[in-house]
Structure 1
Amino acid sequence: MTVRHILIVDDDEDIRDVARVALEVVGGWQVSMASSGSEGLQIAATQQPDAILLDVMMPDMDGIETFQKLQVNPATAQIPVILLTAKVQTSDRQRFAELKVAGTIPKPFKTMTLANSVAKILGWED
């Protein structure tokens, strides 16, 4: 069985750490982490993860801009992206749906169910 590789892009170190533990321990996946959109773009292009968890609100380059840059790069355009967001208003949900992301997971997320949520969104359930 192939071990899946997930890239977490979030400027909050605590969220990255909690998500990494949840995905490694519960999901059994390999995890890489980036603290900014620009770092996430570099890691995604070089490591080609199976999926990306992307924070929407980051200081240097927000998640929407990062997602759009992932989409125009042939090396990363096919990687499914799940947005991690504290924004859950109807207008934001509609905007995210128009982006054709794989899905969204609200923050704060439940640590023990994060891997299950990711697996469900991506169809990785066994």
Structure 2
Amino acid sequence: MEWVGAVGFGLVLLVIIALATSRRKVGSLKDPNTRLTTAELSESQRLLWQQAEHAIAAYKHARGAEVEPARARVLRVADDAEVWVGVVEGKGASERQVLMARLAAEEIREFVNDALTRHPEEQQN
């Protein structure tokens, strides 16, 4: 029975450590005085691209009443990319990092605009 208590204690300890570690990462992104690391910047850019890809895929497959909400989601992702550039600038990123963020936001906007013009129901109108 002692081993059950030891294993339980170990699991609780691991959960506490994991929560503390994840909270520190999330907190660093929210803290305006903390600079973004290159890893955080690239991860946030990857996630932004992933959101854009998912939103565009959903938009391409949307039909009928689903088209407008899917279109709004795609436009929101493009707007989020532009807001993300402001966050990167506000975090004291280097000039190169800000330039890369702007380039990524522009590419996402072009990607979204291209998807919006190619939707089958939009082309029929």
More helix by share: 2
Do they superpose with TM above 0.5? no
TM-score (norm 2): 0.28
Higher relative contact order (CA 8 A, sep 6+): 2
More strand by share: 1
TM-score (norm 1): 0.27
Larger Rg: 2
